[in-house]
Amino acid sequence: MENHRYLAFYKPYDVLSTFTDPDERSTLSDYIKVRGVYAAGRLDRDSEGLLLLTTDGDLIHQLTDPKHRMPKTYFIQVEGIVTPEALTRLESGVDIQGYRTRRCQVMQIPEPDFPPRSKPIVPHGPVSWLRIVLHEGKKRQVRHMSAAVGLPTLRLIRIAIGAIALGDLRPGQWRDLTATEIARLKRDS
């Protein structure tokens, strides 16, 4: 039986979800010195939050394959006032780039307590926060969904993948998953 590593990492804003970059931008290698781990999915450079990394290729496949419908939870700051109609449209699925998103869970939340972003956000009007749980993950999907209902995303933070949550991690910090967390991820994926 192989010994694998399983890490939870709080990816900061302006960091690529890769270990190398020909343009010498900030990458995972600036924070994680564990050999052989790869990201199970991605977060865009301008997104923050939970990223799982592992040496277990089978688990990476299970976590990233849409047929497994692993829930991913995001807190997003949007520009604008959230209406009940916008929430209903998001939950029901919206058309983005020729694709209709699956049903999801969406609710407005009070402003969460996160560390300030390295590059401050300067909104042009009122802002609101949403909690969105997706069971799919198209490229920049959350941003496209919020824009489709007239609520551009200003800040996006993934707070959980399945039962694994950011917890007490701060931007740039990582930790090994517990045996219980690993077993639950494998069971749920």
DSSP codes joined into one string, 13-38 = TT--SSS--TT----GGGT---TT-E
Percent of the chain with pLDDT over 70: 97
pLDDT the model gives residue 43: 92
Q: Is the pLDDT of residue 33 over 50?
A: yes
115's tokens: 């560390």
The residue among 40, 8, 6, 44 whose CA lies nearest residue 25 is 44
Q: Is residue 1 part of a domain?
A: no
CATH of residue 181 = 3.30.70.580
Q: What is the mean pLDDT of residues 136-160?
A: 92
Using DSSP bridges, classify how beta strands 6-11 and 38-39 pair: parallel, antiparallel or unpaired. unpaired
CATH of residue 115 = 3.30.70.1560
Q: Are residues 42 and 59 in the same domain?
A: yes
- Length, in residues, of the chain: 189
Q: Are residues 29 and 85 in the same domain?
A: no
Q: Is residue 14 part of a domain?
A: yes
Comparing 151 with 57, which gets the higher pLDDT? 151
Q: Which residues are known catalytic residues? A: 44
Contact 118, 172 (CB under 8 A): no
Contact 135, 70 (CB under 8 A): yes
Assign 20 a pLDDT band (cuts: 50, 70, 90). very high
State the residue range of the domain holding 178: 6-66+162-188
pLDDT the model gives residue 122: 87
Q: Residue 5, exposed/middle/buried by CB under 10 A (0-12, 13-18, 19+)?
A: middle
Total number of domains constituting the chain:
2
| 92 phi, psi to nearest 5 deg | -75, -20
Q: Are residues 24 and 75 in the same domain?
A: no
How far is it, in rounded angstroms, from Cα 162 to Cα 145? 21
Q: What is the mean pLDDT of residues 24-40?
A: 94
Token pair 């990223």 in the structure block, residue: 51
Q: Is residue 84 part of a domain?
A: yes
Q: CA 39, 44, 45, 48 torsion: positive or negative? A: negative
Q: How many CB atoms lie within 10 A of CB 114?
A: 17
Assign 2 a pLDDT band (cuts: 50, 70, 90). low
pTM score, whole prediction: 0.93
Q: Is the pLDDT of residue 1 over 50?
A: no
Assign 57 a pLDDT band (cuts: 50, 70, 90). confident
pLDDT the model gives residue 139: 79
Percent of the chain with pLDDT over 90: 71
Q: Is the pLDDT of residue 130 over 80?
A: yes
Q: Which residues contact 128 (CB under 8 A, 6 or more apart)?
A: 77, 78, 80, 81, 82, 108, 151
Q: Are residues 56 and 100 in the same domain?
A: no
Q: Are residues 182 and 148 in the same domain?
A: no
